[in-house]
Homo-oligomer: A and B are copies of this chain.
Amino acid sequence: MNKADFLSATLAGRRIQPMQASGSQFAPVNIALGKYWGKRNIPGNLPTNDSLSITLPNHGSTTTITASETDLVILNGKQVNPEHAFYRRLFEFLDALDGNRPRLRVETNNNIATAAGLASSASGFAALIGALNDLCQWQLTDTEWSILARIGSGSACRSIANGFVRWHRGERDNGKDSFAQPIDQPMPNLAIGLLTLTDAEKPIGSTAGMKQTLATCPLFNSWPQFANASVERIAQYIETGDLIALLNEAEHNAMTMHATMIATNPSILYWQPESVATMHKVRALRSDGLDVYLTMDAGPNVKLLFDRRQQADVLAAFPNAELILPFEHA
């Protein structure tokens, strides 16, 4: 199955046919506490394991789509050249959605700190599907929205709700059971601190990195089982409200994901000196009694995880951290 096949399985005959002047949608970014690393199917973005994220409310992408004389992309107020990777990825996806689609004007505004290593592709693809749903009045269910966003960019399937969201890996070849669902259980004391440590270029993108990990990491075959059990533990800590156990598991989960990258051949090393310095600093603070943990994605920057009641101490230690309170949303 190629991308178009995966999409049409869920579109079920829906086409890109505007039913109103324009369609619009906001979608938030998310940070995985139980990571997604490893695809069992590449065009369908079907994962080897469950993952679980926390949404950053009000941080994300707003996309507006209108029918147009020519294809046009406006990203953060600027027109994007057709040779640009963003433009090509977007219209390749729209072509896969509907090979006979009308020309479209796609305007996307991201209000997120991309320098801190927050991937805008997750919120971007979730917003894109939402805007098409609005434009064409597809009446997508949340599950269908999540599946279509997943085919655009795996972790986009989690950018469909606030709070904790769990992506069920699914078992089926057509991917119709691989989608995310919100967990209706807040943890109001969870706080996040975004650190922008370096703008060092990533050595490899995440799709290629996952592929290399599956092909050459001698430790990878232990990852899916660990990752699923780890997400299960995180879900239990959410249910019982055990914030510290959750943060500890999230850090262990992220370090284990990075271990699978480091053990590939050649090794994938997203860490920079500043990343390791921050890890040691976080540990030293923990030794001093502060309950601060960290997570990292496929990049050099660090996201702090802590109890908002210790916010003053954490921000004193990391004055440049951007504070996010994920359960403080309108």
Contact = CB atoms under 8 A, between A and B. Distances in A.
A218 interface: yes
Interface string A258-290: 111011011101011111110110010000000
13 contacts: A219-B226, A222-B222, A248-B265, A252-B263, A252-B266, A255-B262, A255-B263, A259-B259, A259-B263, A262-B262, A266-B283, A269-B280, A269-B283
A255 B273 contact: no
Contacts of A223: 218-219
A216 B86 CA distance: 41
Closest 9 CB pairs of A and B: A273-B273, A218-B226, A259-B263, A259-B259, A219-B219, A256-B263, A252-B265, A255-B267, A259-B262
A286 to B, nearest CB: 9
A275 B273 CA distance: 8
Interface in A174-215: 203
Nearest to A218: B226
A170 to B, nearest CB: 22
A141 interface: no
Given A222-B222, A226-B218, A262-B259, A273 B277 contact: yes
A251 interface: yes
Nearest to A252: B265
Interface in A229-274: 230, 248, 251-252, 255-256, 258-260, 262-263, 265-267, 269, 271-274
A221 interface: yes
Given A221-B222, A272-B276, 9 more contacts: A218-B225, A219-B223, A219-B226, A219-B260, A255-B262, A258-B262, A269-B276, A269-B280, A276-B276
Contacts of A258: 262
B273 A251 contact: no
A204 B27 CA distance: 44
Contacts of A267: 251-252, 255, 279
A267 B255 CA distance: 7
Contact of A276 (B226, B230, B266, B275): B275
Contacts of A260: 219, 259, 263
A252 B280 CA distance: 24
Contact of A280 (B218, B266, B272, B277): B272
A319 B295 CA distance: 36
A263 B258 CA distance: 8
Contacts of A277: 273
Nearest to A255: B267
